[in-house]
Amino acid sequence: MSDVLILNGRLVDPASGVDGERDLLLRHGRVAAVEMPGVLRAVKGKEIGKEIIDAKGMIVAPGLVDVHVHLREPGQTYKESIKTGTAAAAAGGFTSVVAMPNTLPVNDSVEKLEWMLDASRGACVKLFAMPAATFGSLGEEITDYHELQRVGAVGFTDDGKPVLHDRVMRAALVAAAGIGVPVSQHAEDTRLTGGCSMNAGPVAFRLGLRGMTVEAESKIVERDIRLLRDIEQHDGLRPHLHVQHVSTAKAMEAIRQARRAGLHVTCEVAPHHFTLTDEAIGEYDTNAKMNPPLRNDADRMAMIAGLMDGTVDCIATDHAPHALFEKEQEFERAPNGITGLETALGLALRVLHKGNGMPISRVIELMSAQPAGIVSLEGRGTLKVDSFADVVIFDPAAEWSFAAAKSLSKSRNTPFDGAPMLGRVMATICEGVIVYRG
């Protein structure tokens, strides 16, 4: 592994409070030095086998971390594989991704988790996983959290569906609290959403589609918060609830209150939920069908408010690839989900930074240090000396349009084909290896 010297860039590392011109030396997969301009240039050329990247005009930041991706392997590699999904991640500036367990079969055992994380799967960025919170994600019996953590589980979730029973969710929170990892919840009361394919409201009425109410999301969030409080009071534990892909103002407010009350609740918002509303469905465009669904503009603005005021801990893509033939169906029959790894940074910079005045360093924090913290990735999400050499270099001023046809994902299901993006990834480096060049 050759050294990499990154010169002339603007280093933005929120975890260490750096935002300014710095040069960076990566050696043996770690950050070897962070210096003021000029210091490292002296060593430049002295050694051979050194890659030098001129990052003039670029931002050099910790590699992005996504705590919520679907890589479809095992079982559905016609949609995506660990290899293609992580290639798409690298193209989007991500150096760490957390794979959800709703594969075929469901990732609910040590054997399956080890298989998934095995190097022979060909991941080009750091792959982590949250195995299922319950066996088969059936919501009945919790999996073996101790053993799964031993082989690398960074949290537990039945994503795609909720842990519905109070008793089971309580057991999951208690077990996860015992080993210091979060339970990540897909907050949807599926008893209220049967047959629903989009957000409830005037648009659903006009399109003649059954709508999911905001309460279907907020009720589960509120229930989970009650369980947290109860466990803190009665079990002497401090469980960590992570709420996935928050989409409603109502759930956001419940999370805000819970945090004020001192409970350990974190949450993520997906770029599509702060960018689009249910109007994007247009004429039944299944590329705008996901779960939770696109909501109305008040909910979209509440996501932005939550991101601005710190209620939201991180941006996560919920990258959910599907084959063309699956999306090319009647709206109600098409599967939920869109790809998102390659559009996340461009949308975050456009909507949050340019559109709402969020400092770039804060955008980076929401996409690196904070998600790394939620799943306790030691030495990632920062560029402090000795941390992993996970770096993204991007041009913050580049305005471009995303072309789905050029995606590195196997699937093309995105509502952002042709959409304007701000900030273009020029290089992604994972543990010192350049895994993507723009």
Partner 1 sequence: MTILETGTIAAGSLLTVAGLTVEEVAAILAATDRLERMAAAERAKILAGRRIALLFYESSTRTRTSFELAAKSLGAMTTLVSDKSSSIEKGESLKDTGLTLRALGAECIVLRHANSGAPYLLAKTTGLPVLNAGDGMHEHPSQALLDLRTMLARLPGMSGRLVNAKTLEGVTVVITGDILHSRVARSNAMLLPRLGARVVLCGPPGLLPDDALGLGLDSKGGIEIERDFDKALKQAGSGGKAVVMMLRIQRERLAGLELDLEEYISRYQLDEERLMARAPEALVMHPGPMIRGLEIAGEVADGPNSAIEDQVRHGLGVRMALLVRALGAGGFESVTV
159 is in an annotated binding site: yes
Q: With binding defined as CB under 8 A, does residue 417 bind partner 1?
A: yes
147 binds partner 1 (CB under 8 A): no
3 state DSSP class of 276: coil
Q: SS3 of 187, please?
A: coil
Selected from 125, 133, 203, 267, the binder of partner 1 by CB under 8 A is 203
> Does 102 count as an annotated binding residue?
yes
The residues, any chain, with a CB within 8 Å of residue 285's CB and separated by 6 or more, are 415
State the Cα–Cα distance between residues 371 and 197, nearest whole angstrom: 29
Q: Residue 272, annotated ligand binder?
A: no
Point out which span in 115-123, 186-194, 221-229, 322-330 binds partner 1 (CB under 8 A). 322-330
User: Is residue 285 close enough to count as binding partner 1 by CB under 8 A?
Assistant: yes
> Who's near 66: CB < 8 A, 6+ residues apart?
89, 94, 96, 97, 98, 316, 317, 319, 341, 344, 367, 371
The CA-atom distances, in angstroms, between 293 and each of 138, 281, 300, 401 are 22, 10, 11, 24
- In the list Zn ion, partner 1, none, the entry touching 186 (Cβ below 5 to 8 angstroms by class) is Zn ion
* Binding segment toward partner 1, per CB under 8 A, in 18-26, 79-87, 195-203, 224-232: 195-203
Please report whether residue 204 would count as binding partner 1 according to CB under 8 A. Answer: yes
Closest CA to 271 of 362, 340, 365, 185: 340
Q: Could you give the string, one character per residue 351-390, with x where binding to partner 1 holds by CB under 8 A and - elsewhere? A: ----------------------------------------
Which residues in 30-69 contact partner 1 (CB under 8 A)? none
Task: Measure the CA angle with vertex 373, ends 368 and 379; round to 5°.
Answer: 75
Out of 57, 105, 202, 359, which residue is the one contacting partner 1 (CB under 8 A)?
202
- Rank residues 105 and 202 by Cβ distance to partner 1 and give the closer one: 202
Query: For this structure, is 166 an active site residue?
Result: no
Tokens of 80: 């995506």
Three-state DSSP at 314 gives strand
Minimum separation from the CB atom of position 426 to partner 1 (A): 25
Question: Residue 250 in 3-state DSSP?
Answer: helix
Identified catalytic residue from 23, 158, 189, 318 = 318
CB of 4 to Zn ion, least distance (A): 36
Residue 330, class by beta-carbon neighbours within 10 Å (0-12 exposed, 13-18 middle, 19+ buried)? Answer: exposed
- 341 is an interface residue for partner 1 by CB under 8 A: no
Question: 309: exposed, middle or buried (C-beta count within 10 Å: 0-12, 13-18, 19+)?
Answer: exposed
| From the list partner 1, Zn ion, none, partner contacted by residue 130 (C-beta under 5 to 8 A by kind) | none
Q: Annotation-wise, does 127 bind a ligand? A: no
Residue 316 burial by Cβ neighbours in a 10 Å radius (0-12, 13-18, 19+): buried
Cα–Cα distance measured from residue 346 to residue 369, given in angstroms and rounded to the nearest whole number: 18
Name the segment binding partner 1 (CB under 8 A); options: 215-223, 277-285, 341-349, 371-379.
277-285
Residue 98 CB, nearest distance to Zn ion (Å)?
13
Point out the residues that are catalytic: 318
- Residues of this chain that bind partner 1 (CB under 8 A): 200-211, 283-287, 324-325, 327-333, 404-405, 412-413, 417
Residues making up the annotated binding site are: 68, 70-72, 102, 159, 186, 245, 291, 318, 322
